[in-house]
Amino acid sequence: MTILEFKSACETIAQEYKTKINAAQSAAEVEELRVAALGRKGALTDLLKGLKDFSIEDKKQAGPLGNALKAELTAALDEKAAFFAAKEINDELNKTNIDLTLPGYPVACGHKHPLSVAQDRMTTILARLGFEWAEGPWVEDEKHNFDLLNVPLHHPARDAQDTFFVDTKAPLVLRSHTSNVQSRYMEKHKPPLRIMAPGRVFRNDSLDATHSPVFHQIEGLYVDKNVSLADLKSDLTAFMKGLFGDKAEIRFRPSFFPFTEPSVEVDVKCVFCQGKGCNVCKQNGWIEMLGAGVVHPNVLKNCGIDPSEFSGYAFGMGVERLAMMMLNIKDIRAFYENDVRLLRQF
């Protein structure tokens, strides 16, 4: 056999087997072709046996040619074999027939209370604005709940019809606002200080759709050099943006609280109608959100901070009010009834 004849034989084998491999219909057929081409008595094996009669020169040409063809056919066979192996598995899988629309296993899933949902959102934003979490007792003395906060002795808030009094050795009250944390904190810490105080407060109000003797507030206090009403507006704007998105806007209305001067009511532009007027804002375009102001110099003085050196702002907001608005809960009592049909929605 000449080298030319060898080459031509190679081409013939290549052509024949590539066509056959391509046309193979099963894994078994592929294996038959493997034996037919590459087996001990296979066509290519037979052809290669003839190499031993070639001259060294011819072997150098024919050898690589034969090996390349062997590799080529092996690869084609492997690929076809893999195709049939995968097909076999997929055919098997495709026989599966389960109803995917049946319900899933009830994996445990608990629910945060809606007030916690609201409070967590608010404290998260305040924490990002650098407010440190501070706390104070719920059973409080009048000094920290009223006196230090510049609430005059004969102020109506100190009446039994507004505040709960308890039967302890010293005359104590259930704190009527989270502002007791202000006086507690300022007594112990020097400015700069920047705190939030979320928590429960108590008022002697009968339980009805809009009042509860127990409710939640979040207090904010910032005292440093040169803190102004503009800082309050800036920080509260940032807070409301965190709560309602980048378009949130606030406005101040003058008000009165004993512990701040100037005092303001803070309204936020209605997030439901963008200020156009809707049912939530009672066609007003604005929603009353919280009370705030510049810390009264007497409060600073009472807590041992020099009002000629430092100034501050404070704010207090109701968690229920916000949660009712955001979650469309119409009756404050729903928060304290703990009906799982409501709780499981959050």
For another protein, which is the closer residue by CB, 83 or 256? 256
For another protein, which is the closer residue by CB, 80 or 203? 203
For another protein, which is the closer residue by CB, 21 or 196? 196
Torsion of CA 266, 290, 117, 135, to 10 degrees: 130
Q: Residue 121 corresponds to which amino acid?
A: R
Provide DSSP, 241-308.
Answer: HHHH-TT--EEEEEEEETTEEEEEEEEEE-TTTTTS--TTTTTSSEEEEEEEEEEPHHHHHHTT--TT
d(CA 262, CA 296): 8
Q: Report in angstroms how near the CB of residue 311 gets to another protein at its nearest.
A: 7
Q: CB within 8 A of 20, min separation 6: which ones?
A: 33
Q: Report in angstroms how near the CB of residue 249 gets to another protein at its nearest.
A: 9
> What is residue 151's three-state secondary structure?
coil
For another protein, which is the closer residue by CB, 58 or 224? 224
Q: Report in angstroms how near the CB of residue 145 gets to another protein at its nearest.
A: 13
Provide DSSP, 34-98.
Answer: HHHHHSTT-HHHHHHHGGGGS-HHHHHHHHHHHHHHHHHHHHHHHHHHHHHHHHHHHHHHTT---
Q: Report in angstroms how near the CB of residue 242 gets to another protein at its nearest.
A: 11
Q: Report in angstroms how near the CB of residue 234 gets to another protein at its nearest.
A: 5
Q: Report in angstroms how near the CB of residue 244 gets to another protein at its nearest.
A: 15
> What is residue 311's three-state secondary structure?
strand
Q: Which residue has 């690929």 as its token pair? A: 79
For another protein, which is the closer residue by CB, 39 or 242? 242
For another protein, which is the closer residue by CB, 36 or 238? 238
For another protein, which is the closer residue by CB, 93 or 153? 153
Q: Report in angstroms how near the CB of residue 248 gets to another protein at its nearest.
A: 11
> What is residue 193's three-state secondary structure?
strand
Helix (H) or strand (E) holding 119: helix 114-128
